[in-house]
Amino acid sequence: MKKIFNKIYDWLDHRVDIQNVIQFIGKKYVPIHSHSVWYYFGGVSLFLFIIQVITGILLLFYYKGSADYAFESIQFIMSKVSFGWLIRSVHTWAANLFILSVFIHMFSVFFARAYRKPRELTWVTGVLLFFLSLAFGFSGYLLPWNQLAFFATKVGTDIVGSVPIIGEPLKIFLRGGEDVTGATLSRFFGFHIALFPGLFTLLLLIHLALVQRQGMSEPVEVEKLKPAEKKTMPFFPNFLLRDLLLWLIVLNVLAVLAVFFPAELGEKADLLAPAPAEIKPEWYFLFMFETLKYIPAKTLFIDGEVLGILLFGIGGVLWLLVPFWDKKSSKGLRNRTITYIGIFAIIFIITLTIIGFIS
Amino acid sequence: MNRIFLMLLLFVSLSSINVTGQAAKNDQCFICHEAIGDKTAQLYPKDVHFKKGISCAGCHGGDSRLEDMEASMDRNKGFIGVPKGNKISDACINCHSNEKTMKGYNSNLPTDQFDKLTKSVHGKLSTTGAELIVQCITCHDIHQIRSANDPSSTVYSVNIPKTCSKCHNDAVFMRTYNPALPVDQYIKYRTSVHGMLNAKGDSKAADCKDCHGSHDIKSATDIRSKVYPVNLPKTCAKCHSDKKYMSGYKIPTDQYEKYSESVHGIALLQMNDPGAPACNDCHGNHGSSPPGVESISKVCGTCHALNAELFSNSVHKAAFDKHNYPECESCHGNHEIITATHELIGINEGSSCINCHKEKDDPGFQAADLMRTLIDSLDAQNEFAAKLIYEAEQKGMEVSEAKFLLRDVKQSRFEARTLVHSFDTTKFNEGVRRGLSIAAEVSGEAKGAVDEYYFRRFGLVVSFILISVLIVGLYFYIRKIET
Amino acid sequence: MSEFLSGVKNEKKELNTRRGFIKWLLGFGLTGFCASVFYPVVMYLKPPDQREIEVSSVSAGSLSDFEVESSKIIRFGNKPVLVIKTEDNDFRAFSAICTHLDCTVQYRNDFGVIWCACHNGKFDLNGRNISGPPPRPLDPYLVAIKDDEVIISKKD
């Protein structure tokens, strides 16, 4: 057994120089400090993304992306295909956990100022990946073509439509016409399974390559310590094994969620039916949705909704460009503003999400 | 133009109102025309308008005070001669649509008759296209118009059927307007209880107008019609629920009350299902009369066809005929028919069977007992299956197939309930068994779905444990390599 | 646990865990993990008994299943559909739910009509309500013959 393994290793090594890679990995160390726990959320996000890819491909075997069949094909998956319910429920739950994990990963990086020089590009690609994750969630939500998804998409794209100048054409582009119809479903299906995964994979590779190339960032205080005082752990196998362990726990959690709270299907979308009383977007959009409700209808000649979208847009751009305006952190100085901004953002998001759930 | 003409006419007629009933005596038109033996003039003294002192000129125009023929019938003075077409009714509405004028004669008659007429089925244009189908005189006669309360009036209750049938009995005439409309209403009416009383001079018995209205008659298919199915019960109840009005007739007055709470009344009056039977669907309309005891199953059978057929072929048919029991009614009642429950059969109190089959060794008694047991078990199985499906659905399982099959169970239940009317235990048993076997299939499938639900939990526990073992193994392994 | 994850070493002396036990745990756990992941996936990939969703069209059986002037009730989605082969070998299909009170209708070849036993409602072979309480016609479905198969599909 070992002989065969060695032979294969030698054969490969002769051709692609595996030795080099293994040496590289072997030299890679993960800093150990009191905030090391947060390092794991990048890995968990990656794991959940892999699960999404696998379950997504599996669902594709039976799913049909057209208004006539979408709902029925999911019904088919849930009832006729063995373990179809499990695959779909895992896909749904993993999507939610993925976004949650990405949130945590992002904020931990933010508070640790890990975006500071020289990791600006890692941050930018990371934030872009985050935006893409939201887009994944939004496009995937419509695919079961049920009543709830239909109206949530309608409301969601309507909000896009109120963006000045580009909003209306963008809305029409997203919907594939004036209204949410089967054409929208086809588009969202295309986005969800082809465009977004392609972009995501590309950005993810850059993101991971940068992490590997530059190593893990250390918090400012740890960075200042003398090399002798720093503690590290080998990435391979120690850290990777811990990663794996955590992934298995996440897998167990996913299985429990999928069995106890399987994904629902609801009623098939009826384009002519009146909107159900309570349309709420997915929880990760709730804080934005809720904010738009609380902005007064008119502020300084600007429509409340437009103002909200502009604010969120500006916020998003600022967030994306944090490493470029937070010069202090890059110079190794303390920047309390960043901490305040981060805390404010978290409190804001949590509060409005809770209000959104209650109301 | 028309308006000027009307005003002129009004002026003329007003000027001809010579305050007292004596007027006619000074009415030169009448004096002259009567003298020359004009037949219309001879009819006029019996006319209600003559009695009110209205001159010929009231309708025909001209100046009734002048003796000179040329001058009195001068077209410049509004003389119109013999009116034709709509001009006829124009002459009537001239006063009858004018509240003030009518008050002047101390009349309490309504003034909206013509308005109603134009909106009625008779208010459409005739075949010539130049006038309304019906003018006032079509029903009220000419020159000898009487008050509707006058027994000699064409529109007096007893005479109305004849008046209406003048046209409605005329097949040749009626087909020019509505070829599909029957022309036998009059004949049918005369066979009805209403028609017979009417023929005896009873003005209280319903005539045409009591159901169809008078000036405002609408087509029976018009949703506003008094005889449109949904409105009909109220129309009949107007008299039949009036204790005082019906006091002379010795029939109950609670039919409407009972009907409106019956399965039919609820369907028609509350659920607005025009397919549900109104009074006329059982009693007939023009030939209305309570169905005879032996024909009840035929009448009910127009809708409940299978039940009636089964009943007619059953042992009960001959037995009921012999004892002169009203067929369906014996068990279901008539006006108060409520949704048939299983209480109706069996040997418990409230069952209809034990009214006749009283003895334990009576085969009818035993059959009743058996049938009740069977139908109850089908009900129970149906409910059980529905409950299981509900449970499976609540657990998030997909059971649309079983749900679809449940329809068949419900259908079998219907069929079994119908088969009761064969009063044949073998046939009934067959029907129930069919339902029971489908119900068992449904329950089996729903049960499978519920089991699947628990299987999922079991599978989860197994895989959870297996993965946890790996986690623990990994944990110890990491510890090992780090020490 | 967080201590473990962050890699901060526990100073306590490691318990003497036997090598074999860990190996067994890892081997057993890994096998179990593979089984609990791959079993559902393989079962999922195994073609289900019903190969495809049937919404747009449903087979009502082969031509030879139908005698002249006979009928059959088939399941179409969640609705029953009545398929009739008429006198002149023509196929018709209608929703089998009576438009009056939701009873299931049937084809009566002795009268040449579709009949609802509940209240004697009748529909002609074009689905039109011709007598009795039904307020509107039955919804029609399309029938196509492919090879030897009678296929029912929704009419748009």
Tell me which chain C residue has its CA closest to the CA of residue A84: C44
Mean pLDDT, to the nearest integer, of C5-23? 60
User: What number of C-beta contacts closer than 8 Å exist between B and C?
Assistant: 93
Q: Give C131 to chain A, closest Cα distance, Å.
A: 32
User: Which of B422, B469, B478 to mutate: most C Cβ within 10 Å?
Assistant: B469
Q: Which residues in chain A are contacts of B481 at CB distance < 8 A? A: 237-238, 241
pLDDT (tens digit, 9 = 90+) per residue, B439-459?
Answer: 999 999 899 888 988 888 999
* Interface residues on C facing B, Cβ-Cβ cutoff 8 A: 4, 9, 14, 17, 19, 21-22, 25-26, 28-30, 32-33, 35-36, 75, 78, 80, 100, 103-104, 117-121, 132-135
Alpha helices in A17-39 (DSSP H): 18-27
Q: Do C103 and B411 touch (CB under 8 A)?
A: yes
Kind of pairing, strands C91-95 and C79-85?
antiparallel
- C129-131 sheet: strands from edge to edge: C106-108, C113-116, C121-123, C129-131
The string over B332-356, giving b where at least 16 C-beta atoms fall within 10 Å of a residue's C-beta and e elsewhere, is bebbbbeeeebebbbbeeebbbbeb
B370: exposed, middle or buried (Cβ count in 10 Å: 0-12, 13-18, 19+): middle
CA A331 to each of CA A47, A118, A122, A212, B175: distance values in angstroms, whole numbers, following the listed order: 34, 11, 18, 23, 104
* Interface residues on C facing A, Cβ-Cβ cutoff 8 A: 2, 4-8, 33, 40-41, 43-46, 48-50, 52-53, 55-56, 77
User: What number of C-beta contacts closer than 8 Å exist between A and B?
Assistant: 43
State the Cα–Cα distance between residues C8 and A35, nearest whole angstrom.
11
State the Cα–Cα distance between residues A53 and A60, nearest whole angstrom.
10
State the Cα–Cα distance between residues B17 and B9, nearest whole angstrom.
12
State the Cα–Cα distance between residues C18 and A159, nearest whole angstrom.
62
CA B159 to each of CA A263, B164, B166, B188, B200: distance values in angstroms, whole numbers, following the listed order: 76, 9, 11, 16, 11
State the Cα–Cα distance between residues C138 and C125, nearest whole angstrom.
10
Residue among C117, A7, A13 at smallest CA distance from B308: C117
pLDDT (tens digit, 9 = 90+) per residue, A190-241?
Answer: 999 999 999 999 999 999 999 988 888 888 888 888 888 888 888 888 899 9
State the Cα–Cα distance between residues A137 and B467, nearest whole angstrom.
28
Q: Give C71 to chain B, closest Cα distance, Å.
A: 17
Contact partners, residue B472, CB within 8 Å, separation at least 6 = C25, C29
Q: Return the DSSP state at C109.
A: T
Question: Side chain identity at C121, as an amino acid letter?
Answer: G
pLDDT at residue number B19? 40
* Contacting subunits of A (3+ beta carbon pairs below 8 A): B, C
Torsions phi, psi of B341, nearest 5? Answer: -105, 170
Q: Do C48 and A233 touch (CB under 8 A)?
A: no
> Residue B101: which H helix or E strand, with range?
helix B99-104
Tokens representing A256 are 């429990």
Tell me which chain A residue has its CA closest to the CA of residue B480: A238
pLDDT at residue number A236? 82
Mean pLDDT, to the nearest integer, of A326-341? 88
pLDDT (tens digit, 9 = 90+) per residue, A256-269?
Answer: 999 988 888 888 88
Half-sphere exposure of B437 (CA within 13 A, CB side): 5
Q: Which residues in chain C are contacts of A239 at CB distance < 8 A? A: 7
Q: Do A259 and B457 touch (CB under 8 A)?
A: yes
Q: Is A17 left (phi over 0), alpha (psi -120 to 50) or beta?
A: left
pLDDT at residue A282 is higher than 80:
yes
Contact A65, A143 (CB under 8 A): yes
Q: Give B49 to chain C, closest Cα distance, Å.
A: 50
The string over B433-461, giving b where at least 16 C-beta atoms fall within 10 Å of a residue's C-beta and e elsewhere, is ebbbebbebbbebbbbbbeebeebeebbe
User: Which of A47, A64, A75, A80 to mutate: most C Cβ within 10 Å?
Assistant: A80
Q: Do B469 and C25 touch (CB under 8 A)?
A: yes
Q: Do A238 and B464 touch (CB under 8 A)?
A: no
Contact B198, B157 (CB under 8 A): yes
State the Cα–Cα distance between residues B220 and B227, nearest whole angstrom.
6
Give SS3 for C82. strand
A239: exposed, middle or buried (Cβ count in 10 Å: 0-12, 13-18, 19+): buried
Q: Which residues in chain A are contacts of B471 at CB distance < 8 A? A: 245, 248-249, 252
Rg of chain A on CA atoms, in Å: 23
Q: Give B407 to chain A, closest Cα distance, Å.
A: 20
A2 or B415, higher pLDDT: B415
Q: Which residues in chain B are contacts of A252 at CB distance < 8 A? A: 464, 467-468, 471
pLDDT at residue number C55? 62
pLDDT (tens digit, 9 = 90+) per residue, C72-81?
Answer: 888 887 788 8
Kind of pairing, strands C113-116 and A231-234?
unpaired
Q: How far apart are the first and last CA of chain A?
A: 62
B351 or B136, higher pLDDT: B136
Torsions phi, psi of C73, nearest 5? Answer: -105, 125
Contact B275, C133 (CB under 8 A): yes
Q: Which residues in chain A are contacts of B453 at CB distance < 8 A? A: none
CA angle, A238 as apex, A234 and A244 as ends, to 5°?
A: 135
State the Cα–Cα distance between residues B435 and A338, nearest whole angstrom.
72
Q: Do C120 and B304 touch (CB under 8 A)?
A: yes
pLDDT at residue C155 is higher than 80:
no
Question: Side chain identity at A198, as an amino acid letter?
Answer: G
Report the mean per-residue pLDDT for chain B: 85
Choose the most confident range, by mean pLDDT, from A313-327, B100-114, B214-228, C11-25: A313-327
Residue C91: beta bridge partners? C85
The 8 Å CB, 24+ separation contacts for B222-226 are B222/B121
Torsions phi, psi of A268, nearest 5? Answer: -65, 140
Nearest CB partner across the interface for A241, out of B456, B463, B478: B478
Contact B384, B429 (CB under 8 A): no
State the Cα–Cα distance between residues B262 and B394, nearest whole angstrom.
36
pLDDT at residue A242 is higher than 90:
yes
State the Cα–Cα distance between residues B275 and C121, nearest whole angstrom.
10
Contact C76, C89 (CB under 8 A): no
Mean pLDDT, to the nearest integer, of B209-229? 89
User: Which of C5, C26, C129 to mutate: most B Cβ within 10 Å?
Assistant: C26
pLDDT at residue number A145? 93
* Contacting subunits of B (3+ beta carbon pairs below 8 A): A, C
Among A235-249, A337-351, B72-86, B454-468, which is the least confidently predicted range?
B72-86
Q: Which residues in chain B are contacts of A256 at CB distance < 8 A? A: 460, 464
Tokens representing C27 are 């081997």
Contact B288, B198 (CB under 8 A): no
Q: Which residues in chain A are contacts of B463 at CB distance < 8 A? A: 255
Q: How confident is the model at residue B437 (pLDDT cuts 50, 70, 90)?
A: very high
Torsions phi, psi of C78, nearest 5? Answer: -105, 10
Mean pLDDT, to the nearest integer, of A69-75? 88
CA A217 from chain centre, in angstroms, equals 21
User: Which of C31, C38, C55 to mutate: most A Cβ within 10 Å?
Assistant: C55
Mean pLDDT, to the nearest integer, of B368-376? 90
A81 or A302, higher pLDDT: A81
State the Cα–Cα distance between residues B321 and B314, nearest whole angstrom.
12
CA B6 from chain centre, in angstroms, equals 41
Question: Side chain identity at A288, as an amino acid letter?
Answer: M
CA C105 to each of CA C67, C100, C129: distance values in angstroms, whole numbers, following the listed order: 19, 11, 12
Q: Does B223 touch chain C (CB under 8 A)?
A: no
Q: Do B479 and C103 touch (CB under 8 A)?
A: no
pLDDT at residue number C3? 61
Question: Side chain identity at B196, as an amino acid letter?
Answer: M
Tokens representing C131 are 């007598």
Q: How confident is the model at residue A133 (pLDDT cuts 50, 70, 90)?
A: very high
- For tokens 């149906």, name the residue: B382
CA B243 to each of CA A225, B247, C54, C109: distance values in angstroms, whole numbers, following the listed order: 107, 6, 63, 51
State the Cα–Cα distance between residues A55 and A86, nearest whole angstrom.
10
Q: Give B479 to chain C, closest Cα distance, Å.
A: 8
Q: How far apart are the first and last CA of chain B?
A: 120
Longest CA span, chain C: 94
pLDDT (tens digit, 9 = 90+) per residue, B150-204?
Answer: 888 999 999 999 999 999 999 999 989 988 888 999 999 999 889 999 999 898 8
Cβ neighbour number for residue A340 with a 10 Å cutoff: 10
CA angle, B377 as apex, B375 and B382 as ends, to 5°?
A: 95
Q: How far apart are the first and last CA of chain C?
A: 61
Q: Which residues in chain A are contacts of B478 at CB distance < 8 A? A: 238, 241-242, 245
Q: Which residues in chain B are contacts of C134 at CB distance < 8 A? A: 275
pLDDT at residue C120 is higher than 60:
yes
Q: Do A37 and C2 touch (CB under 8 A)?
A: yes
